[in-house]
Amino acid sequence: MSEEIKSHLFAIRTTGGQEKVVMRLLEAKANANKINIQSVFWVTDLKGYVVVEAINPSDAYLAVEGVRHIRGQLRGELEFKDIEGYLIKKSTILTLEVDNIIEITGGPFKGMKATITRIDADKEEATVVLLDASYQLPVTVDANYLKLSSGA
Q: Residue 69 is part of a domain; what is its CATH number?
A: 3.30.70.940
Residue 24 included in any domain: yes
Q: Who's near 28: CB < 8 A, 6+ residues apart?
A: none
- Provide the 8-state DSSP code for 46: S
Contacts of residue 23, defined as CB under 8 A and 6 or more positions apart, other chains included, come to 40, 41, 42, 50
Domain end among 49, 69, 87:
87
In the predicted model, what is the mean pLDDT of residues 23-51? 89
Claim to verify: residue 83 and residue 12 sit in the same structural domain: yes
The residue ranking higher by pLDDT, 144 or 129, is: 129
Query: How does pLDDT run across 53-71, given as a tens digit for each residue?
Result: 999 999 999 999 999 999 9
50 & 119 share domain: no
Instruction: For residue 113, give the 3-state DSSP assignment.
Output: strand
pTM value is: 0.56
Count of domains observed in the chain: 2
Could you tell me the pLDDT band of residue 152, with boundaries at 50, 70 and 90? very low
Q: Are residues 61 and 111 in the same domain?
A: no
* Strand order through the sheet with 138-142: 138-142, 125-130, 113-120, 101-104, 146-148
